[in-house]
Amino acid sequence: MRRCFVLTGFITFLFLLTSCSAQEGPKQQGASPAVEFSLESIKEQTINLSEYRGEGAVILLFWTTWCPYCINEIEMLNQLYEELGKDNVRVLAIDAGESLRTVKRYMRQIGPKFDVLLDRNLKVSGAYRINGVPFYIFIDKQGGIVSKGNYFPSNYKQLSAE
């Protein structure tokens, strides 16, 4: 049983850590549609990406509790939360591959102001082709992916206005 857990953890680690070299992506011409998903939040509610369509832009942050860079990004997004809200940008932090207990325990220390979701089986991470954490995907209000990369999009105001 323990070997299975260690092997699963190692495979998850390799999947998420394969590349952290991607830069913030420029706006793509003819943005591809965001992949629809439903995930459980740490508040044990189901959140659907489609709930946000038409309301404003959405930032997806794929992260893990064991990634120090991810924790910095979570804290930065917490600090920017009010400003992002004024710009009609919503944040969904998607933990990749960890349990509700692990993420909930960790998030108690941070007190996130945004929804934290669980991608336990890595299906959403795979659908978005996440190749390392932290990884951002910026979705416009029409539901198109306009930016992706390992860094927060510094031009998020421009992206959210379009």
pLDDT of residue 31: 74
User: Using CA atoms in the order 101, 36, 30, 25, what is the torsion angle rounded to 10 degrees?
Assistant: 10
Q: 102 near 27, Cβ under 8 Å?
A: no
- Rg (C-alpha) for the chain, rounded Å, is 15
The whole-number pLDDT of residue 161 equals: 64
All domains of the chain in start order, with CATH: 2-161 (3.40.30.10)
- pLDDT of 76-129, one tens digit each? 999 999 999 998 999 999 999 999 999 999 999 999 999 999 999 999 999 999
- Asked if 95 contacts 133 with a C-beta cutoff of 8 angstroms, the reply is no
Confidence of residue 144 (pLDDT cuts 50, 70, 90): very high
Residue holding tokens 């189901």? 46
* 100 CB neighbour count, 10 Å cutoff: 14
Give the mean pLDDT of 141-150: 92
For residue range 20-63, list pLDDT tens digits in order. 333 333 344 557 999 999 999 999 999 999 998 888 899 999 99
Q: How many CB atoms lie within 10 A of CB 153?
A: 22
Higher-scoring residue by pLDDT: 159, 113: 113
Helix (H) or strand (E) holding 69: helix 68-86
pLDDT tens figures, 71-86: 999 999 999 999 999 9
pLDDT by residue (tens digit) across 126-139? 999 998 999 999 99
Residue 12 clears pLDDT 90, i.e. is over it: no
Considering the entire predicted model, what is its pTM?
Answer: 0.80
pLDDT at 15 over 60: no
The three-point CA angle 57-60-63 to 5° equals 160
Tokens 């930016």 belong to: 147
Instruction: Name which residue leads in pLDDT, 136 or 159.
Output: 136
Find where tokens 């092997």 sit: 7
Strand order in the sheet with 57-63: 32-33, 144-149, 135-139, 57-63, 89-96, 115-119, 38-41, 46-48
